[in-house]
Structure 1
Amino acid sequence: MGSQAIEAHRRGAEVYHGAALCAEKSVELLAETHMPLGLLPLGEMEEVGYNRASGFVWLRQKKPTTHIFKQIGRHVSYAAEVTAFVEDRRMKRMTGVKTKELLIWVTLSDMFLDKDDQSKITFKTPAGLGRTFPVEAFAKDDVPKAKPAASAAAAAAAAAANGKVASN
């Protein structure tokens, strides 16, 4: 079903190709919709598309992947094609995303930030069952969490190594 929906929404969509550009655009999309930046940790993406008129988004990767969100201890499976309709603080009618509950993989269809408490995100199944987690559990993993003093020291060391003088 994902491919048919993608083709139906391709006309008028912004389409990007290449792993680095797709990774950048997927993070931009999450930022634009005010969703946690680590929510779609997809690897080796080949195509990202966004039809702003309909709100339809698709992400294609070379092969399905599984990611473990360590803070909440959840395994999430992403198919080779992930699709959704996006709006502010919400992704709905998603395809290609499953989470492991006990011993079974459960399809996710919606995710949204709580209206009253923006620090919580809720995931729902097509049957309407849902779970709520803290937003910080879905922060982008590769963002360095260095102390400011260590960052300044690292910047000064890098500048010195390049033959430039760092000034404060």
Structure 2
Amino acid sequence: MATSKAIEAQSKTAEIHRGPAACKEKFLELLENFSVPRCLFQMADIEAAELEEFGFNRSTGFFWLRQKAKTECKIHKIGTIYFDVEVAGFIEQHRMWKLTGVKGKEMMVTLPLCEILVGYPSADKVKCLSTAGVYRVRLIADFLNTK
């Protein structure tokens, strides 16, 4: 579990919050502070996603979320997004990278996402890159339509 080791290393100087309400509040606050639309991470709004822990290391930009079980979110124009028990990565203004624990399924192909660029190539779009180098540019509004 490389993600668990990274979380352990980063947690020494991180802000850590526990409990579903606190985790949801702090994670959504983080997304807002870095201009990442909350609709990209709808796991925070899914009732079944019982968030257990949220951590953020301000000095490195590393964040993580732990939940009790894997969750999935079906989005009408996008496909299905899967969130593992541990989701982690780095965040900066309009960008998340080195993501782990997030997979996207479009048609019949499921690929792990490693980077999200908001406002690329225009302000109303988001670019999602997979670890395989495949990417999709989508309208941010497309992520609002869940099934």
**Structure 2 contact 111–131 (Cα < 8 Å) conserved:** no
Q: Does residue 1:46 correspond to 2:52, yes or no?
A: yes
TM-score (norm 1): 0.78
Larger radius of gyration: 1
Name the aligned partner's letter for residue 63 of structure 2.
V
Q: What does 1:3-42 align with in structure 2 at a 5 Å threshold?
A: 3-42=4-43
Runs of 4+ with >6 A deviation: none
| Deviation sequence 1:83-113 (CA, Å, 0-9, x none) | 0100000000000000112212111100011
Q: Does residue 1:117 correspond to 2:122, yes or no?
A: yes
Q: Percent identity?
A: 35
Following the alignment from structure 1 to structure 2, what is the Cα–Cα distance between the partners of residues 38 and 14? 24
Following the alignment from structure 2 to structure 1, what is the Cα–Cα distance between the partners of residues 60 and 83? 23
Following the alignment from structure 1 to structure 2, what is the Cα–Cα distance between the partners of residues 26 and 16? 10
SS at match of 2:12: coil
Residue aligning to 1:131: 136
Name the aligned partner's letter for residue 16 of structure 2.
V
Residue aligning to 2:62: 56
Q: CA RMSD of the aligned region, Å? A: 1.6
**Structure 1 contact 63–79 (Cα < 8 Å) conserved:** yes
Following the alignment from structure 1 to structure 2, what is the Cα–Cα distance between the partners of residues 28 and 138? 19
Range that drifts further, 82-91 or 121-130: 121-130
Instruction: Give, in angstroms, the shift of residue 116 of structure 1.
Output: 4.9
TM-score (norm 2): 0.89
Name the aligned partner's letter for residue 104 of structure 1.
V
From the two aligned structures, give the one with the greater strand fraction. 2
Match of 1:68 among 66, 74, 85: 74
Residue aligning to 1:165: none
Residue aligning to 2:110: 105
Which fold has the larger relative contact order, with Cα–Cα distance below 8 Å and residues 6 or more apart in sequence? 2
Following the alignment from structure 1 to structure 2, what is the Cα–Cα distance between the partners of residues 8 and 108? 22
Gaps of 5+ in 1: 142-168
Following the alignment from structure 2 to structure 1, what is the Cα–Cα distance between the partners of residues 101 and 21? 21
Following the alignment from structure 1 to structure 2, what is the Cα–Cα distance between the partners of residues 92 and 47? 20
Gaps of 5+ in 2: 44-48
